[in-house]
Structure 1
Amino acid sequence: MSKIHASMAGNLWKVLVAVGDSVSEGQEVAILESMKMEIPIGSEKGGRVKNILKQEGDFVNEGDELIELE
């Protein structure tokens, strides 16, 4: 199982996947908002979304786990 982490601190503006979705390596799965900029978060590996650990609007710190893949 792999996890997708926040690359920087900010608000989780949008989650682009749902539980059960298949994702490929490099696919954008979420967007952070920080300092009025949108920062896309991509998956480092392919897999299926097992769990979404943070909700849209949550503040996240750099390194926080956002999504679990199986």
Structure 2
Amino acid sequence: MKQVAANMAGTVISVLVQPGDTISEGQDVIVLESMKMEVPVQSMEAGKVVEVKANIGDFVNDGDIIVVLE
């Protein structure tokens, strides 16, 4: 399984994908807010979304797995 990790600590303000979606390399999957800035998290690989592990309002740390791909 491929995974997408948060690239910084922040609060999830938008979830842009759902299980079953097919995404491409470089596609935004989640938007985080950190220090009043909106920061998109991009997938480094293409694949099909199996699970989204973060919800709007969740706080994630740098390196936390937020999306699982197959």
State the TM-score, normalizing by the size of structure 2: 0.97
Give the Å deviation of 1:28.
0.6
Cα RMSD (Å)? 0.5
Aligned sequence identity (%): 50
Regions of 4+ moved over 4 Å: none
Residue number in structure 2 paired with 1:7: 7
- Counterparts in 2 of 1:38-53, with a 5 A limit? 38-53=38-53
In the alignment, the residues of structure 1 paired with residue 50 and residue 8 of structure 2 have an alpha-carbon distance, to the nearest angstrom, of: 23
Give the unaligned 5+ runs of structure 2: none
Residue number in structure 2 paired with 1:33: 33
In the alignment, the residues of structure 2 paired with residue 8 and residue 56 of structure 1 have an alpha-carbon distance, to the nearest angstrom, of: 16
In the alignment, the residues of structure 2 paired with residue 64 and residue 2 of structure 1 have an alpha-carbon distance, to the nearest angstrom, of: 13
Give the unaligned 5+ runs of structure 1: none
